[in-house]
Amino acid sequence: MMVCQKVEEKGTTTYNEVADELVRKVLAEREQKEKGKFDEKNIRRRVYDALNVLMAMDIISKEKKDITWKGLPTGCRQDIDSLRKEVQTRQEKLQQKRDTLRELLVQQVCFRNLITHNHSRGMSDEKIPMPFVVVNTHSSAVIQCDMSRDRTDVMFEFSMPFEINDDNTILKKMRMDKASISTLQDMLPKDLMAYCQENRLLDSIVTPERSQHRRSPELHHSAMPYHRQRDRTYRPQYDYSYDPLA
């Protein structure tokens, strides 16, 4: 595939030019993932073999040292387009899974920091079960609230702008979503830690070691933006039960 794309990109080229560029590309990619030396002659031989196959299929033509791109058969081009679309789809799904993993990591860090924060303050009779939802608006707003019998649907009507935040958002506003590298190494399996660092999933979480003992700032409602909405049905979608304050 790489050989075919390279010749198509250049139009007219030579065996050595294609081989040199692909050897540099392959070696660079492999050195980033694995340490060690790779056999350049073996890579070059594979490139030459691929070029000979393309020439046998009449996809390229050769005149002396020059090779020229002639084009793929219609069926082959459709197959390549289909494969490219599949690769793009898989990459998008993979990115979605990485985003989900990043959010789960943030959530676990928040819970861990909340437990540590509560233990440092001692046990209290005032507890807020999790998960929870905070609805805030102006103190002079008129609020009408209707709830279904099974308590799965809640209808709010506000006379003024309002905002709805879940427990994860509140913990992030309290800056509970930060942790040091050493803390994350204790939390995560070695392989998961390496994967997260390789894909930069911890960039928004990691904080210097010295900042871990700073007191978490209180949440300021005045800093929250309001969204202008009147009628809105909120349907909680939680599939877990967690009470770190208990």
**Any idea where the domains of the chain sit in the sequence?**
2-71, 125-234
Strand order in the sheet with 12-14: 12-14, 66-69, 60-63
CB atoms within 10 A of CB 194: 11
pTM beyond 0.75, yes or no: no
Contact 59, 71 (CB under 8 A): yes
Q: Which two tokens stand for residue 230?
A: 């009147």
Confidence label for 142 from pLDDT (cuts 50, 70 and 90): very high
pLDDT tens-digit readout, 55-79: 888 787 888 778 887 777 666 667 7
How is domain 2-71 classified at the CATH fold level? Answer: Arc Repressor Mutant, subunit A (1.10.10)
pLDDT at 157 over 70: yes
Q: Which helix H or strand E contains 35, and what residues bound it?
A: none
The least confident of 28-37, 45-54, 215-224 is 215-224
Measured CA to CA, the distance from residue 185 to residue 121 in angstroms comes to 25
When pLDDT is averaged across residues 202-224 and rounded to a whole number, the result is 58
Write the DSSP symbol of residue 147. Answer: E
